[in-house]
Amino acid sequence: MLLHQLGAWLRKEGCLAEAVTDRAGARAALAAKRFDLLLLDLNLPDGSGLDLVPAPGSLNHGVPVVVLTGAPSLQSAMQAVQLRILAYLAKPPDVTELRRLIKIATDLQRERRSIEASRERLRVWEKELDELERGLDRPDPGSVGLAHLRLTLHQLGSLLVDLDRSLAEAPTVPDAREPISRLELVACLRRTAEALEATRVQFRSRALGDMRKQIESLLERNR
């Protein structure tokens, strides 16, 4: 009963919820897609819900987990702490607390995915730089400098777009000592767009042109 009630409540809150009744169903779901939060019942028909906490290397490793139980105990609470559970709640859970935990979990997962995307971009950039470096050993390395500039400008534009998105999503921190000024970001984007416009004739790159349009679109939205 609680399973269906929670599922209905989560959907009403605007979440995409997937409900399963046992460990077998949960394992299948965890292997098929990524989740932002796991709500686990401590006692499932086929074993302990704590066994479902994603292990390192698995698709959902690091996902925030909230454990629900109708029979809280010191032993299970200590197990949950050792597994770095986000919260250990008695059933039925308090709706206000659950809503707060969902917000924490989604913020954590958004930041995790942002870091993963940045790391992947760095891997791709390193691979492309390696290819450029190998080009220096070729008989005619003259085009390497231009290719390096195009690659750098492309990465810069991508980073600025990501930074603008992150600033828009990040919570306000009133006591931050050195906050990044949104006006400074817009100014930086504007200078980048102007540089791309000034070099349009020399480089004649569709990728750079598309990036310039993307940056100009961001500037337009920030007016």
Question: What is the CATH classification number for the domain harbouring 60?
Answer: 3.40.50.2300
Domain match, 13 and 81 both:
yes
Reduced to 3 DSSP states, what percent helix, strand and coil does the chain have, rounded to the nearest 5? 65, 10, 30
Backbone angles phi, psi at 43, to 5 degrees: -115, 105
Instruction: Tell me, yes or no, whether 120 lies in a domain.
Output: no
Domain count, the chain: 2
Domain match, 13 and 97 both:
yes
**Using one digit for the tens of pLDDT, what is the confidence trace for 57-77?**
888 888 999 999 988 888 888
The pLDDT of residue 177 is 41
Domain match, 6 and 83 both:
yes
- The answer to whether 33 touches 58, Cβ cutoff 8 Å, is no
Judging by DSSP bridges, how do beta strands 65-69 and 47-48 pair with one another? unpaired
Domain match, 6 and 96 both:
yes
Joined tokens for residue 59: 């698709």
pTM: 0.60
Domain match, 22 and 91 both:
yes
Whole-angstrom distance, CA of residue 12 vs CA of residue 116: 30
Residue 51 identity: D
Q: Which of 102, 124, 152 is the last residue of a domain?
A: 102
Instruction: Tell me, yes or no, whether 126 lies in a domain.
Output: no
**185, β-bridge pairs:** none
**Using one digit for the tens of pLDDT, what is the confidence trace for 150-177?**
788 777 777 777 776 666 666 544 444 4
Instruction: Tell me, yes or no, whether 124 lies in a domain.
Output: no
Instruction: Tell me, yes or no, whether 118 lies in a domain.
Output: no
Domain match, 23 and 95 both:
yes
Range 167-188 average pLDDT = 54
Preceding peptide of 92 cis, ω within 30° = yes
Instruction: Tell me, yes or no, whether 108 lies in a domain.
Output: no
Domain match, 96 and 17 both:
yes
Instruction: Tell me, yes or no, whether 119 lies in a domain.
Output: no
Q: Which of 81, 102, 123 is the last residue of a domain?
A: 102
Whether residue 180 is predicted with pLDDT greater than 90 in this model: the reply is no
Domain match, 91 and 7 both:
yes
Q: The domain containing residue 43 runs over which residues?
A: 2-102
